[in-house]
């Protein structure tokens, strides 16, 4: 959670730690470029049998987003995963043939185990063309999933999959993310956020100081003693060690 009132945008996205092309035994590391939106395109799978596109992560995952520069045309792509002793066929769905941008999805296998590829130990899946390549795919990114369900705004309780505007405030914090199946248990994600900032102004008043900032007031009355309410002041003066009392027995008008 982020205990920072005044958050304006919170972005949550998935990623891959490693993207390697095994080009007939020669590995090309495209990990950084694969996690960059746009940028320089790189080759996916260029040849039959001898090329493997490895996609790996420190934690298990169940979908891979790809953005193409040039769409591919393949005859029989096969995906496999490491089951602890060998590469086994992985059933996939979604955009799994590189003919367009989209998201490849799969169910994380119960026997999926880490293995070492190009000196890196991780959870890997790999793609291989087993018949014929008409057009090799070139990719802008792999694994940078920016699905709408994983993006929410302001300091709300993030509920991916909810309709726009359906959120629940959580006392100035970002609550635990419920992914609706898009994230594997324990899967690592990347988060970023921005928040309203002001120029701090400090000046002495009776040996105390006041700074400019943002604040939220929350009223949680006892049962039968009024309505829960909260208000946010995006810009105000904060008194160091100050206090404010609310009497929930008084009549309160909430606009």
pLDDT, residue 195, reads 57
Beta bridge partner(s), residue 247: none
pLDDT, residue 105, reads 92
CATH number of the domain that 138 lies in?
A: 2.60.120
Range of the domain at 189: 7-12+147-195
Residue 179 sits in the same domain as residue 215: no
Residue 59 sits in the same domain as residue 83: yes
pLDDT, residue 215, reads 72
Report yes or no on 173 lying in a domain. Answer: yes
Report yes or no on 162 lying in a domain. Answer: yes
Residue 68 sits in the same domain as residue 106: yes
Report yes or no on 163 lying in a domain. Answer: yes
Tokens of 160: 């991916």
CA–CA distances in Å: residue 179 to residues 38, 80, 183, 184, 185: 26, 25, 6, 9, 10
Report yes or no on 96 lying in a domain. Answer: yes
Residue 155 sits in the same domain as residue 89: no
CA angle, corner 194, sides to 189 and 197, nearest 5?
155
pLDDT, residue 135, reads 94
Least confident range from 39-48, 176-185, 240-249: namely 240-249
Residue 21 sits in the same domain as residue 34: yes
- Say if residue 184's pLDDT is above 50: yes
Residue 127 sits in the same domain as residue 157: no
Tokens of 57: 């992560």
Domain tally, the chain: 3
Report yes or no on 93 lying in a domain. Answer: yes
pLDDT tens digit sequence for 38-93: 778 999 998 887 899 999 999 999 999 999 999 999 999 999 999 999 999 999 99
Residue 33 sits in the same domain as residue 105: yes
Residue 124 sits in the same domain as residue 235: no
Residue 136 sits in the same domain as residue 151: no
Residue recorded with tokens 């100081």: 209
DSSP characters for the chain? Answer: ----TTEEEEEEEB--SEEEEEETTEEEE-HHHHTSSSS--EE---STTTEEEEEEESS--SEEEEEEEE--EES-EEEEEE-SSSEEE---EES-SSSSSEEEE-PPPTT---EEETTEEEEEEEEEESS-EEE--EEEEES-B--GGGEEESSEE--TTSPTT--EE-TTSPPPP--TTSS-TT---EEEEEE-------EEETTEEEEEEEEEEEE-PPTTS---EEEEEEEEEEETT------TTS-----
Report yes or no on 120 lying in a domain. Answer: yes
Tokens of 194: 């921005």
Report yes or no on 254 lying in a domain. Answer: no
Residue 128 sits in the same domain as residue 84: yes
- Cβ atoms of 99 and 73 closer than 8 Å: yes
**Alpha-carbon span 96 to 222, nearest angstrom:** 54
Residue 86 sits in the same domain as residue 115: yes
Residue 29 sits in the same domain as residue 70: yes
Report yes or no on 244 lying in a domain. Answer: no
């Amino acid at each position: 959670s982020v205990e920072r009132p005044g958050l304006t945008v919170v972005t949550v996205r998935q990623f891959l730690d490693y993207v390697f092309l095994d080009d007939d035994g020669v590995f090309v590391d495209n990990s950084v470029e694969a996690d960059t939106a746009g940028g320089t395109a790189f080759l996916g799978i260029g040849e039959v049998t001898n090329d493997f596109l490895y996609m790996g992560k420190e934690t298990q995952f169940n979908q891979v987003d790809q953005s193409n520069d040039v769409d591919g045309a393949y005859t029989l792509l096969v995906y496999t995963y490491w089951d602890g002793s060998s590469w086994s066929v992985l059933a996939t769905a979604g955009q799994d043939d590189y003919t367009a941008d989209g998201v490849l999805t799969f169910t994380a296998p119960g026997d999926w185990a880490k293995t070492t590829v190009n000196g890196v130990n991780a959870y890997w899946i790999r793609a291989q063309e087993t018949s014929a390549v008409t057009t090799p795919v070139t990719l802008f990114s792999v694994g940078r999933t920016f699905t709408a369900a994983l993006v929410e705004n302001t300091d709300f309780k993030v509920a991916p999959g909810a309709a726009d505007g359906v959120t629940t405030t959580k006392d100035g914090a970002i609550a635990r993310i419920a992914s609706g199946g898009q994230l594997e248990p324990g899967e690592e994600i990347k988060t970023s956020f921005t928040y309203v900032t002001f120029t701090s102004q400090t000046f002495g008043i009776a040996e105390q100081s006041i700074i400019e900032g943002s604040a939220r007031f929350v009223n949680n009355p006892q049962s039968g003693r009024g309505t829960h309410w909260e208000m946010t002041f995006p810009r105000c003066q904060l008194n160091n060690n100050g206090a404010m009392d609310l009497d929930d027995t008084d009549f309160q008008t909430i606009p």
